[in-house]
Structure 1
Amino acid sequence: MTETLPRWARRIAEQELADTLPRRWSHSKGVARQAAQLAAVAGPDNELLVAAAVIHDIGYAPRLALTGFHPLDGARFLRDEHGADGRLVRLVANHSLALLEAEERGLREILEREFPLLDDQVLVDALIFCDMTTTPDGTPTSARDRVAEIVARYGPGTLVGRFIQRAQSEIDAAVTRTEHRLAVGGQPR
């Protein structure tokens, strides 16, 4: 029996995160649970969304953190070591408005060149929704509370604090669009 994309992603994420970063692993599992509830929104790309959700933070794994920017490190790992699906890699690279954080880090051009933003607003929004409505411990939360938690954890003047505050309105918009799509039973693709 062939391994499904979500099972493969879960296995790889668990190998890299469960022992070294158990809280990050809890968050990733929670994000995947959120994604599993969005089947009507993701439609035929549901497996891709669930896979991206469970593996989106793999770049935090200590052995993979080469640049210190987890979306880029994770995407490079998936591309270079696993030859992963290009759409999956681009979702991981660009999850939760990563281009804005890349800009803060001076890495935006590199991220855009290596991993162009996926031209599928439904999937991009859905992954933002899943990530930004899940606490670090893997439980559901509101996007507003999640952003506030990130700012409190990192500090408002830090690179991550500045980025997430800049991203707040776009996060809110993506969450609202996803909630609307869910309420109307998905959206034609």
Structure 2
Amino acid sequence: MFGDWAMEVAEAELSSTLPRRWAHTQGVGQRAVKVGQILGQDATLLVAAATLHDVGYAPRLAVTGFHPLDGARFLRDEHGADERLVRLVANHSFALLEAEERSLREELVSEFPILKRPLLVDALVYCDMTTTPDGGRTTAEERVAEIRGRYGDDSVVGRFIRRAAPEIFASVERVEAALAAQPR
């Protein structure tokens, strides 16, 4: 339903202009394929959201400079994408906290309310926050430290990630518990 289309869109927007972001995106998507087992019918939605979560970084799409909002608007306006998918992209990895840092909270909330599917939302956080910028596997703690180091603690992203870290870690723990409870 979403898979091939999401990969084509993400590749078209990121592969040539932002190859490292494209590598991260591919890793997040691959992680979502594995994590999808805990979601049943939402598995394909998770894979699509994971594949498209950073599309808003594409230079031609960067209107506000806030990639979750720019990506969600692009998917809604240019592709007429599924509302659930767009809302997941807009709110991935506690984007609301970063929107507050950027004075974009009201825009994000009014256009793209958070999806009320806790495990699905947690699964997207897990996939994003356990994948390195180069697409490899990492822990959430290492990923948060890497983001803080890359952006600096006093930057918008640094302030956001410090605020979001406890929520990120809690999401990752919930997904790991759900994965551990799956029959082998």
Which TM-score bucket, shorter chain as reference? over 0.9
Name stretches of at least 5 consecutive residues in structure 1 with no aligned partner: none
Show CA shifts across 1:128-153 (max 9, x none): 00000000000000000000000000
Measured in 1, the distance between the counterparts of 2:110 and 2:182 equals: 35
Aligned residues: 183
TM-align CA RMSD: 0.8
Correspondence 1:106 to 2:111 = no
Alignment match, 2:57:
60
Alignment match, 1:127:
124
Correspondence 1:92 to 2:89 = yes
Letter aligned with residue 49 of structure 2: A
Give the TM-score, by structure 2 length: 0.98
Mapping for residues 44-83 of structure 1, pairs under 5 Å: 44-83=41-80
Show CA shifts across 1:48-82 (max 9, x none): 00000011000000000000000000000000000
Letter aligned with residue 158 of structure 1: S
3-state SS of the aligned residue for 2:122?
A: helix
3-state SS of the aligned residue for 1:12?
A: helix
Name stretches of at least 5 consecutive residues in structure 2 with no aligned partner: none
Measured in 2, the distance between the counterparts of 1:112 and 1:164 equals: 19
Cα shift at 1:43: 1.1
Show CA shifts across 1:10-49 (max 9, x none): 0000000000000000000000011011122121111100
Measured in 1, the distance between the counterparts of 2:73 and 2:100 equals: 18
Show CA shifts across 1:96-127 (max 9, x none): 00000000000001100000000000110000
Letter aligned with residue 111 of structure 1: L
Task: Point out 4+ residue stretches in structure 1 off by more than 2 angstroms.
Answer: none
Measured in 2, the distance between the counterparts of 1:135 and 1:14 equals: 18
Correspondence 1:9 to 2:12 = no
Tell me which protein shows more helix as a share of its residues: 2
